[in-house]
């Protein structure tokens, strides 16, 4: 008979369950602000356990108490947290509403940065719903609020998100202009990792506009930063992007050699999603070379992995689009 869970995840789950029980037991002995704070903690613990419906009920109870206490900032925070939970529950219209309410409340008490964060959450949901104009407007509001809060890096990140969305919509010229603005701000603040991520997106813009040499230079610059920071995931994305540029530039043979090598490496490292990325790019390379059978094989492999990993939504994004 086992004395308890042997794996760390099992131990963590037991600790989380004990924390939830302790908070529930403590709750009847509290009132007023102390009760609201315990409910706050309980809501977070329930989210960690994946009990989102219970967490929403608890967060809203905390919100009611904070409203009675006249704490606008705490009410706004609860509204934002409720938005996060509702999004997890796939109640997206309600989530957008709660994020907007949070943003409005934060603005009333001059918490510009917090309001901007809520507007960026609104933008994410609008973009996923296909309301690009609404998402762009929300991101513009967020960028300005971050600037008002003297948060230049966060303002630049909102601009980065704007540029990425424009690239998704195949508005490369507009996207590049916004990304260059974001890059200047990030560079001025010394946020080099974010500069590198901006370079990745600028490489995508250059790729979309057929400026292959510039795209390669930008990918190389970004990869050097990620390599120095030992950020394997970002480095792999740079390698994939390099191959995408090769394919678009009519150098699919070179791309296949690189992708097959990367595929073997990622397989040996136990990275099935990374392997699937290689397969999806290989499908496009083989399409370009007039080998539809090989392309279909790699595409099926990629989709099977993404479906199994619950990442099917990624297949609808720009990075995974199989372009012929």
pLDDT tens for 17-54 read: 777 767 767 667 767 788 888 788 888 888 888 889 99
pLDDT for 46: 86
Contact 179, 204 (CB under 8 A): no
The secondary structure of residue 86, as a DSSP letter, is: H
pLDDT, mean of residues 250-268: 96
Residues 152-180 have a mean pLDDT of 96
The one-character DSSP state at 320 is G
pLDDT for the residue 24: 62
pLDDT for the residue 246: 97
CATH superfamily of 20-124: Tetratricopeptide repeat domain (1.25.40.10)
Per-residue pLDDT at 179? 97
| Rounded distance between C-alpha atoms, residue 92 and residue 318, angstroms | 22
Degrees, nearest 5: CA angle 116-117-123: 85
Q: What is the DSSP letter of 189?
A: T
pLDDT digits (tens, 9 = 90+) for 62-98: 999 999 999 999 999 999 999 999 999 999 999 999 9
The pairs formed by 141-148 with CB atoms below 8 angstroms and a separation of 24 or more are: 141/116, 142/116, 142/117, 143/116, 145/107, 145/112, 145/113, 145/115, 145/116, 145/119, 146/112, 146/113, 146/116, 148/112
Long-range contacts of 100-108 (CB under 8 A, 24+ apart): 101/76, 102/76, 102/77, 105/72, 105/73, 105/75, 105/76, 105/79, 106/73, 106/76, 107/145, 108/72
* Percentages (nearest 5) of helix, strand, coil residues in the chain: 85, 0, 15
Structure tokens at 153: 């890096």
Where are the chain's structural domains?
20-124, 250-324
Read out DSSP for 233-250? HHHHHHHHHHHHHHHHTT
Average confidence score pLDDT of the chain: 88
146 vs 50, residue with greater confidence = 146
Quickly state the pLDDT bin for 240 (edges 50, 70, 90): very high
Residue that wins the pLDDT comparison between 62 and 320: 62
Find the mean pLDDT for residues 132-149: 97
pTM (two decimals) = 0.82
């Amino acid at each position: 008979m086992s004395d308890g869970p042997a794996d760390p995840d099992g131990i963590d789950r037991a600790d989380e369950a004990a924390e939830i029980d302790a908070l529930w037991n403590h709750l009847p002995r509290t009132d007023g602000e102390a009760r609201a704070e315990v409910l706050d903690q309980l809501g977070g613990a329930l989210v960690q356990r994946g009990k989102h419906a219970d967490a929403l009920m608890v967060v809203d109870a905390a919100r009611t108490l904070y409203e009675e206490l006249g704490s606008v900032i705490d009410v706004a925070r609860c509204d934002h947290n409720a938005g996060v939970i509702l999004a997890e529950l796939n109640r997206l219209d309600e989530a957008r509403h709660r994020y907007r309410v949070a943003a409005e409340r934060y603005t009333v008490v001059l918490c510009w940065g917090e309001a901007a964060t809520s507007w960026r959450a609104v933008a994410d949901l609008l973009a996923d719903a296909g309301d690009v104009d609404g998402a762009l407007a929300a991101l513009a509001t967020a960028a300005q609020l971050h600037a008002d809060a003297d948060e230049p890096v966060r303002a630049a990140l909102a601009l980065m998100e704007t540029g990425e969305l424009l690239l998704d919509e195949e508005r490369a010229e507009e996207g590049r202009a916004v990304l260059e603005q974001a890059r200047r701000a990030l560079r001025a603040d010394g946020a080099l990792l974010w500069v590198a991520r901006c370079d990745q997106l600028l490489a995508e813009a250059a790729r979309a506009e057929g400026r292959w040499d510039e795209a390669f230079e930008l990918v190389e610059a970004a990869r050097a930063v990620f390599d120095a920071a030992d950020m394997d995931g970002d480095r792999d994305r740079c390698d994939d992007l390099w191959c995408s540029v090769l394919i678009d530039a009519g150098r699919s043979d070179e791309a296949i050699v690189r992708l097959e090598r990367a595929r073997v490496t990622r397989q040996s490292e136990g990275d099935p999603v990374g392997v699937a990325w290689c397969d999806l790019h290989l499908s496009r390379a083989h399409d370009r070379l007039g080998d539809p059978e090989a392309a279909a094989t790699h595409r099926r492999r990629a989709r099977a992995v993404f479906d199994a990993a619950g990442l099917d939504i990624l297949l609808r994004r720009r990075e995974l689009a199989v372009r012929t």
